[in-house]
Structure 1
Amino acid sequence: MIEDIESATPALCRLQLGAELRRLRHRADLKSSQVARRLRWSPSKVTRVEYGDNAVVEPDDAVMLCDLYGADPATRSLLHDFAVVTKTKQNRWQSSGDHPAVQPTLHTFVELERAAVALRCYASKYVPGLLQTAAYARETHRTAVSRFSADEIELRVATRLSRQVALHREDAPLELFVILNEGVLRRTADSAMTREQLRHLASMSTLDNVQVQVIPFAAGFHTGMNGPFTIFRFAKTSAARPIVYLENLAASWVIAQETVIENYERAFSELQALAPGPREARNIIHKVLKEI
């Protein structure tokens, strides 16, 4: 049984591993029952692996599936490493000498974000990455506790900006619903950078697939004061089920339990009802712009 709250690295690796294996199986034009017969597995094992229902995926199992599906060597190696992480619960990338910007938590987070059809995000500290400018993203990494080098910062900024392509896909662009605490708008490190970010935020909020709301200080106490969170929702045809992603200074976590996810969905709906609408949000943004 998978725990309600898991460390993000093994959880995201397992979820991404399952989604990739299902994609490979479809490409190979095989049914899960056919795979089970060929590998002499129980009929439910293939499904459990693809949906991330097993907390641990044996690396040898991942390799056997890759071989059966005709995966290329690079994919085979990556999915094997994902399986190793689910088993050891350790970030294999941290000790291998690979660049920290390609650690599995970031890699799988980006891949799941690309696969998602909708994200619901409550942000209380900073503008979410999908809506950041390059200068704003650079500042968030410059002040991070990890103390990245200049080259690492630029690589991470480039990765963050590349994620924003999901909002502009011609085929089914990502639906993004963001609720910001007013303090996010008023946190200023550099006035020029902040003005650029706020103008960009106002502009992005006019997209049909992007909705931005702001909870003003005057709203008082509310559900979001328990902390920021992001809800991922995927297409019904995907192997990935809805998840909640949480993070703080020390670590990040994933929640996959349906009843807990429903609680976060309810919290987000309450915050949507509390916050003024998108048009009012743009008015608040422009008001803050004038005050800076």
Structure 2
Amino acid sequence: MITDVEAATPALCRLQLGSELRQLRLAAGLKGTQVVKKLIWSPSKLSRLEAGENSSVETPDVMALCEIYGADPETRARLQGYAGVTKTKKDWWLTPEYRPVIRPGFKAYLDLEATAAVLQNYEAEFVPGLLQTEAYVHAIYQADGALPTEDLDRLVAVRTTRQEVLHRSDTPLKFTAIINEAVLRRRVGGATIMREQLTHIVNVAESRPNVRVQIVPFRAGVHPGMSGSFFVLHFSERFALKPMVYMENLTDAVVKRSDSAVERYVDAFSELQALAPGPQESLSMIKEAIKEH
């Protein structure tokens, strides 16, 4: 539960609101199909609301659901407060400067990343976004060749602005990155860019106690991350939010919320942590890769 709604971010309010509305529906013994039939809504409207995927939430919609669920006055007032924040404030990634270049699926991820207390990320092909340098990001998107310069600059700004979660003054994000050794060897943008990028990873990992980096070496053989990159997000116990998993590919992005799916990825990440050398040996591997570039 958010204790100071007015000070909360819109992203947190959207996620908390969706979670509490879902809990109210389940407590009332109602299925989503029953609710949307009563309100003459499309099924996607309710599912998006419960998933916290709408950029803003209409207060009348929230009040209509509270009426159906029989929510008490205190709960109604709190949920109305959440909805109000989503209408009066904007997260940085929803501003006109950034919104044109952010896909809906990635917008959903930014909501989660900005709200999470702990982030676990396995990366198979790229340096983790929270550790990328501007030059490395430029090299990735320039290889596509289809982006106007203005959009490319915006995408670079999105990547670098995201990294502020590692430096939050109140509660910095606890970030654990496990990286496939191939990422260290793959030359993105040339030798100079790669040396600077890998040096940046070392500097961040050595200077920030909330950042932990491990490398899965080639010698580890078959491992649980071979099906692709993924993120596991954990939230403060103060909020009614269970851990979630995020994955993306060239055309799509998905957030997994079911307990069974999340448990599999939590277990996979734990196995990867056990397979990978510890932080000190992993940083030594990165330093060796810097010399090779």
Specify the SS of the correspondent of 2:192.
Answer: helix
Q: Percent identity?
A: 35
Query: Equivalent residue for 1:284?
Result: 285
Query: Equivalent residue for 2:269?
Result: 268
Specify the SS of the correspondent of 2:169.
Answer: coil
Match of 2:47 among 42, 46, 55: 55
Match of 2:86 among 58, 69, 75: 75
Specify the SS of the correspondent of 1:245.
Answer: strand
Specify the SS of the correspondent of 1:176.
Answer: strand
Residue 22 of structure 1 deviates from its aligned partner by 7.1
Query: Equivalent residue for 1:227?
Result: 228
- Contact 1:22 1:239 survives alignment (8 Å): no
Q: Output aligned runs, 1:153-168, within 5 Å.
A: 153-168=152-167
Residue 73 of structure 1 deviates from its aligned partner by 8.3
Specify the code of the residue in structure 1 equivalent to 2:120: R
Specify the SS of the correspondent of 2:255.
Answer: strand
Name structure 1 gaps, 5 residues minimum: 1-14, 26-31, 80-92
Query: Equivalent residue for 1:149?
Result: 148
Matched, 1:258 2:269: no
Residue 284 of structure 1 deviates from its aligned partner by 0.3
- Contact 1:138 1:157 survives alignment (8 Å): yes
Closer, same or farther in 2 for the Cα pair 1:103/1:223, shift >3 Å?
Answer: closer
Query: Equivalent residue for 2:38?
Result: none
Query: Equivalent residue for 1:195?
Result: 195
Query: Equivalent residue for 1:175?
Result: 174
Q: Output aligned runs, 1:40-119, within 5 Å.
A: 44=28, 55-57=47-49, 62-64=58-60, 69=80, 75-76=86-87, 100-119=100-119
- Contact 1:121 1:229 survives alignment (8 Å): yes
Specify the code of the residue in structure 2 equivalent to 1:173: P
Closer, same or farther in 2 for the Cα pair 1:102/1:268, shift >3 Å?
Answer: closer
- Contact 1:141 1:153 survives alignment (8 Å): yes
Specify the code of the residue in structure 2 equivalent to 1:274: L
Determine the C-alpha separation between the residues in 1 that align with 2:27 and 2:84: 27
Residue 249 of structure 1 deviates from its aligned partner by 1.4
RMSD: 3.6
- Contact 1:101 1:156 survives alignment (8 Å): yes
Residue 239 of structure 1 deviates from its aligned partner by 3.5
Specify the SS of the correspondent of 1:137.
Answer: helix
- Larger RCO (alpha carbons 8 Å, 6+ apart): 1
Residue 285 of structure 1 deviates from its aligned partner by 0.5
Query: Equivalent residue for 1:87?
Result: none
Query: Equivalent residue for 2:213?
Result: 212
Residue 63 of structure 1 deviates from its aligned partner by 3.6
Specify the SS of the correspondent of 1:241.
Answer: coil
Determine the C-alpha separation between the residues in 2 that align with 1:43 and 1:280: 49
Determine the C-alpha separation between the residues in 2 that align with 1:265 and 1:99: 31
TM-score, normalised via structure 1 length = 0.71
Closer, same or farther in 2 for the Cα pair 1:272/1:20, shift >3 Å?
Answer: closer
Determine the C-alpha separation between the residues in 2 that align with 1:132 and 1:61: 33
Determine the C-alpha separation between the residues in 1 that align with 2:204 and 2:166: 9
Closer, same or farther in 2 for the Cα pair 1:171/1:122, shift >3 Å?
Answer: same
Residue 61 of structure 1 deviates from its aligned partner by 7.7
Residue 66 of structure 1 deviates from its aligned partner by 6.9
TM-score, normalised via structure 2 length = 0.71
Residue 276 of structure 1 deviates from its aligned partner by 0.5
- Contact 2:235 2:241 survives alignment (8 Å): yes
